[in-house]
Amino acid sequence: MTALTGVTVGQAPPPATPPRPRRRLIAYLLLLPGGLWLALFFVLPMAGLASTSLYDPAGSLETGYQMTWEWRNYVDALREFWPQFARSFWYAGLATVAGLLLGYPLAYMIAFKSGRWRNLLLVLVIAPFFTSFLVRTLAWKTILADNGPVVEALRAVGLLGPDGRLLATSFAVVAGITYNFLPFMVLPLYASLEKIDRGLIEAASDLYASPATAFRRVTLPLSMPGVVAGTLLTFIPAAGDFINAELLGTPRQYMLGNVIDSAFLVRLDYPQAAALSFMLLAAILLLVFGYVRRAGTEELV
């Protein structure tokens, strides 16, 4: 520093560049811990997974795997498991829509109408997290059980045949997923609704908008960031979920998560499991990218 000041004495003000490299260094230093963590526990395993997915499927844990650039792993896996693949996105989509339909009114009520009950209601939304995901899903098994009150009530009013059941159906799986990810839908929706200036809704009403029109033209568009965040936070984990299908469904309801689970842990077919994992990842990324681009350019401020 002293050398620098010596040079600039009696000259035009020093250019703004000298402190820059130092500042950049600090930025890199701040990035280092997180970067190392990601490199060690994300990039490296991903590379491992990528290479595993191209191993010779003839190998096994005992005999070891050969790297043979087996692109066929992907084709074979897709051919064999495309129904589960499609089901994953179908269930995740259904659960996201159901979550939005349930979560939006709830978030709206908490944000605009709850008054002094607001904090209690927010705690109630988060309360399920105090018990384990597994326990909560098992509880749904009891709720939807064949001799449970829900099924009995539905049978009584004739909405379900005498042998009709809820457990072990697609409905049970989608309901479970919807329930488990509902807080992830409600919280971002609440956050974006709560931020909306009430003055804007008053202004809409002052400008001849009925309550319904004011909601459609002002509240809903302004809550779109919450809708996008909530749907992503529900859809992404839901597409990779396997617990709900495992506990509330049958193999006929299995999703890609169940297949990957069994390929890794039961059949020990590592190359196939890795290939399926990569395809799921790629499919989710593509869908999310397309969705955010659309929503981002049209609806977001």
Partner 1 sequence: MPMSGELRLVSVTKRFGGFTAVDDLTLTVPQGSFFALLGPSGCGKTTTLRMVAGLEEPTAGRIRLGEADITRLRPYRRPVNTVFQSYALFPHLDVFENVAFGLRRRGAPDVAGRVRQTLDLVELSGYERRRPAQLSGGQQQRVALARALINRPKVLLLDEPLGALDLKLRRQMQIELKRIQTEVGITFLHVTHDQEEAMWMAETVAVMNAGRVEQMGPPAEIYEFPATRFVATFLGKSNLLAGRVTGTAGADVTVEVAGGRFALPQPRNRASGESVLLGVRPEKVRMARPTDVVPDGHNRLPGVITDTCYAGVSTEYLIRTGWGQELSVFSSNATADSPLPPGTEIVMHWNPAHSFLLDRPQGAEPEPPEPDEVAASPGSRFEEVR
Look at residue 56 and give its three-state secondary structure.
coil
122 touches partner 1 (CB under 8 A):
no
Measured from the CB of residue 224, what is the shortest distance to partner 1 in angstroms? 8
State which residue, 121 or 220, has the beta carbon closest to partner 1. 220
Give start and end residues of each alpha helix (H) in the chain: 2-8, 20-38, 44-52, 72-108, 118-126, 133-143, 149-156, 170-194, 198-206, 211-214, 220-222, 224-239, 243-248, 256-265, 270-298
144 close to 151: Cβ distance less than 8 angstroms: yes
215 touches partner 1 (CB under 8 A):
no
277 close to 260: Cβ distance less than 8 angstroms: yes
State which residue, 163 or 298, has the beta carbon closest to partner 1. 298
State which residue, 125 or 201, has the beta carbon closest to partner 1. 201
Interaction pattern, residues 272-301, with partner 1; x per rule: CB under 8 A: ---------------------------x-x
216 touches partner 1 (CB under 8 A):
no
Measured from the CB of residue 107, what is the shortest distance to partner 1 in angstroms? 18
238 close to 96: Cβ distance less than 8 angstroms: yes
Which DSSP letter does residue 60 get? Answer: B
152 touches partner 1 (CB under 8 A):
no
Measured from the CB of residue 106, what is the shortest distance to partner 1 in angstroms? 23
Which among 288, 103, 299, 94 has a CA at the least distance from the CA of 187? 103
- The residues that bridge with 64 in the sheet, in sequence order, are 60
Measured from the CB of residue 219, what is the shortest distance to partner 1 in angstroms? 11
Instruction: Find the binder of partner 1 among 77, 151, 222, 273 (CB under 8 A).
Output: 222
Q: Which two tokens stand for residue 95?
A: 């659960």
State which residue, 217 or 293, has the beta carbon closest to partner 1. 217
CA dihedral (244, 248, 252, 257) in degrees, to 10, reads 20
Q: Which two tokens stand for residue 3?
A: 């050398």
Q: Which two tokens stand for residue 220?
A: 């809903």
Instruction: Find the binder of partner 1 among 38, 45, 197, 286 (CB under 8 A).
Output: 197
Instruction: Find the binder of partner 1 among 134, 213, 286, 289 (CB under 8 A).
Output: 213
Q: Which stretch binds partner 1 (CB under 8 A): 42-50, 103-111, 193-201, 270-278?
A: 193-201
Contact positions toward partner 1, by CB under 8 A?
197, 199-200, 202-210, 213-214, 217-218, 221-222, 299, 301
